[in-house]
């Protein structure tokens, strides 16, 4: 430890001892009875000071003061919830990066869950997303370096590097027996809140809202203006896999649909300063066309505020799966040494009075054991908590946003997952388009000849499959081949328009927009579904 760090650590230790002694003196004269039974804060600080002193005096080797205090702080915060964390200065900078315009890396959002740095969400359009990295993947090695037990700061340090260089990450995936290796080329990751927006064949608009950063409201307004200029008869807003982001952006985007002076969300905590209400501020044009908001289990935080608020104000039908349930508020507080601590100070409650937060998630993220029966019991209890929208529709609370209409997603087959993992679709398209001189029609049809050529390419890259595999993934294979061919010539948007046709939740939303021309008709249909 250098002299400056050693001096800081010693001052910290001394401060703890002096503070503990002062508190003990106060406790002796004022809180003697509580101190006697060891239940008050002052006696517990005294106990901490005593253990620290004995450890420094008696441990077999010399201990690093700074590391001891850091470990004590992390251990203390670990007894609360998974979102209350200690940050070094560099960790704080990494934490705030996701709300800015761009950063360098692989394109994954990660968090420390138990001993594993775990993928929370791949960012659309990035190298990691294209290769099939998915939420829940546990990163166990970066190149030849094991990161089991490592902090998110350490993992980020190993994964980030110069743009154009490659890194091999090894992941453990639930349900897959062997570790999977991905060789990924680093890129400058540009974050867009609205990566895709376009008009559908049935006349409705589609907006993919991937996260809530500082540009979200402007990007959403721009997308809405463009679609409305084209003339749309409905709108699908896709919030699936949206991990959330900035609260003010959630409020301002809701504002686009409900007008000014409306309560969107409030926070409630123990401290008076944690209790706040957030209202819309701007006058906006009336939008009377039917709107469907798509959500799933990975829609979290600000995306839940957005979806739940449009549901509460009867401005959209929510469709998909119950959302994640991340409804706690954190405050980042600077510390005297330049570091910081992020503390959960409140919970979010949307207009109807529903609390978004699902407490079982905290236990899971902390690595605590929770059974499927525990989860089922919590979900059953949530459905018994009935709230009402502004037009008196019943909605349910207690954790996450429950959709008006539930639609299951369809998981990838093992063959499809392996093809994506090894980037076979992308690599085949690159090689094939070189032969085609990068010329292809947007209406290209993947016939049997092209499919068989792709399968030969896959086999040459050690992809094995059975006839049953091919039968179950035929449509998927042809669609993904077409998507990657289009990407090489026309870009991500045309590729996305192709692949989303495989999405049954999206297709259900499109069908409802085609069938029902007003929101009231959509709500009536959803109510009839529940009654049946």
| DSSP 8-state class, residue 413 | P
Residue 83 is given by DSSP the state: T
**Residue 139 and residue 128: Cα distance in Å, rounded?**
12
SS3 381: helix
Distance CA 34, CA 393 (A): 51
Cα atoms found within 13 Å of the Cα of residue 152, Cβ hemisphere only: 20
- Which of 218, 379, 197, 221 has its CA nearest to residue 297? 379
Distances (CA, A) of 512 to 198, 289, 290, 291, 409: 18, 13, 10, 10, 17
CA separation for the pair 102, 192 (Å, rounded): 9
CA distances for 528 relative to 236, 384, 505, 531, angstroms: 21, 19, 19, 5
Q: Please confirm, yes or no, whether 5 is among the known catalytic residues.
A: no
Dihedral sign for Cα 313, 319, 322, 325, please: negative
Is 333 strand, coil or helix?
Answer: strand
- Strand, coil or helix: 271: coil
CA angle 43, 333, 98 (to 5 degrees): 140
Q: How far does the chain reach from its first CA to its final CA, in angstroms?
A: 69
Asked whether the beta carbons of 248 and 213 are under 8 A apart, the reply is: no
Q: Is 396 helix (H, G, I), strand (E, B) or coil?
A: strand
Q: Which residues contact 404 (CB under 8 A, 6 or more apart)?
A: 311, 317, 318, 319, 395, 523, 526
Residue 152 near residue 91, CB atoms below 8 Å: yes
Which of 312, 315, 321, 352 is catalytic? The answer is 312
Pick the catalytic residue from 112, 262, 326, 482. Answer: 326
Exactly one of 301, 309, 328, 352 is catalytic; which is it? 301
Record the tokens describing residue 518, joined without a space. 């007003």
Q: Which residues contact 341 (CB under 8 A, 6 or more apart)?
A: 73, 77, 84, 85, 86, 87, 332, 333, 335
CA distances from 110 to 152, 221, 239, 272, 368 (A): 7, 29, 19, 32, 19
In whole angstroms, what is the distance from residue 525 CA to residue 523 CA? 5
Whether 326 is catalytic is: yes
Structure tokens at 136: 């829940």
**Phi and psi, residue 122, nearest 5°:** -80, 145
If one counts every other C-beta atom within 10 angstroms of the C-beta of residue 408, the result is: 11
Active site residue 238: no
Return d(Cα 260, Cα 267) in angstroms, integer: 19
For residue 488, CA distances in Å to 427, 432, 434, 485 come to 10, 10, 10, 6
By annotation, the residues acting in catalysis are 301, 312, 326
């Amino acid at each position: 430890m250098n002299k400056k760090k050693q001096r800081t650590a010693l001052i910290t230790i001394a401060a703890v001892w002096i503070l503990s002694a002062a508190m003990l003196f106060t406790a002796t004269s004022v809180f003697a009875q509580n101190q006697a039974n060891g239940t008050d804060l002052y006696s517990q600080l005294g106990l901490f000071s005593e253990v620290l002193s004995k450890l420094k005096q008696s441990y077999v080797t010399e201990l690093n003061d700074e590391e001891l205090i850091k470990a004590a702080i992390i251990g203390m915060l670990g007894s609360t919830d998974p979102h209350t964390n200690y940050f070094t200065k560099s960790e704080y900078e990494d934490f705030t990066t996701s709300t800015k315009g761009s950063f360098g890396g692989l394109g994954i959002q990660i968090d420390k869950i138990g001993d594993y740095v775990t993928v929370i969400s791949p960012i659309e359009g990035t190298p990691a997303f294209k290769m099939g990295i998915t939420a829940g993947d546990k990163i166990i090695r970066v190149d030849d370096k094991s990161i089991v037990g490592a902090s998110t700061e350490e993992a980020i340090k190993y994964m980030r590097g110069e743009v154009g260089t490659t890194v091999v990450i090894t992941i453990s995936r639930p349900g897959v027996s062997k570790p999977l290796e991905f060789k990924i080329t680093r890129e400058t990751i540009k974050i867009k809140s609205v990566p895709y927006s376009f008009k559908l064949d049935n006349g409705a608009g589609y907006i993919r809202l991937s996260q809530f950063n500082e540009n979200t409201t402007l990007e959403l307004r721009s997308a809405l203006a463009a679609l409305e200029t084209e003339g749309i008869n409905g709108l699908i807003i896709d919030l699936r896999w949206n991990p959330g982001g900035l609260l003010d952006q959630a409020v301002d985007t809701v504002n686009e649909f409900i007008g000014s002076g409306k309560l969107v969300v409030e926070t409630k905590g123990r401290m008076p300063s944690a209790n706040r209400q957030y209202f819309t501020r701007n006058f906006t044009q009336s939008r009377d066309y039917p709107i469907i908001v798509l959500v799933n289990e990975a829609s979290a935080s600000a995306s839940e505020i957005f979806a739940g608020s449009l549901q509460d104000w009867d401005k959209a039908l929510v469709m998909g799966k119950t959302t994640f349930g991340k409804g706690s508020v954190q405050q980042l507080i600077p510390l005297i040494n330049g570091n910081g601590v992020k503390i959960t100070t409140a919970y979010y409650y949307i207009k109807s009075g529903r609390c978004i937060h699902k407490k079982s998630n905290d236990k899971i993220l902390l690595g605590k054991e929770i059974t499927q029966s525990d989860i089922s019991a919590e979900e059953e209890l949530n459905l018994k908590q009935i709230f009402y929208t502004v037009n008196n529709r019943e909605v349910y609370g207690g954790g996450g946003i429950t959709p008006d209409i539930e639609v299951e997603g369809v998981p990838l087959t093992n063959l499809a997952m392996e093809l994506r993992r090894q980037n076979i679709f992308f690599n085949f398209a690159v090689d094939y388009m070189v032969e085609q001189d990068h010329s292809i029609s947007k209406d290209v049809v993947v016939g049997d000849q092209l499919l068989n050529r792709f399968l030969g390419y896959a086999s040459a890259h050690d992809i094995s499959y059975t006839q049953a595999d091919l039968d179950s993934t035929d449509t998927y294979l042809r669609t993904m081949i077409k998507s990657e061919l289009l990407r090489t010539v026309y870009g991500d948007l045309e590729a996305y328009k192709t692949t989303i046709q495989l999405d049954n939740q999206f297709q259900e939303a499109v069908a409802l927009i085609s069938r029902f021309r007003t929101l009231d008709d959509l709500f009536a249909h959803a109510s009839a579904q529940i009654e049946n």
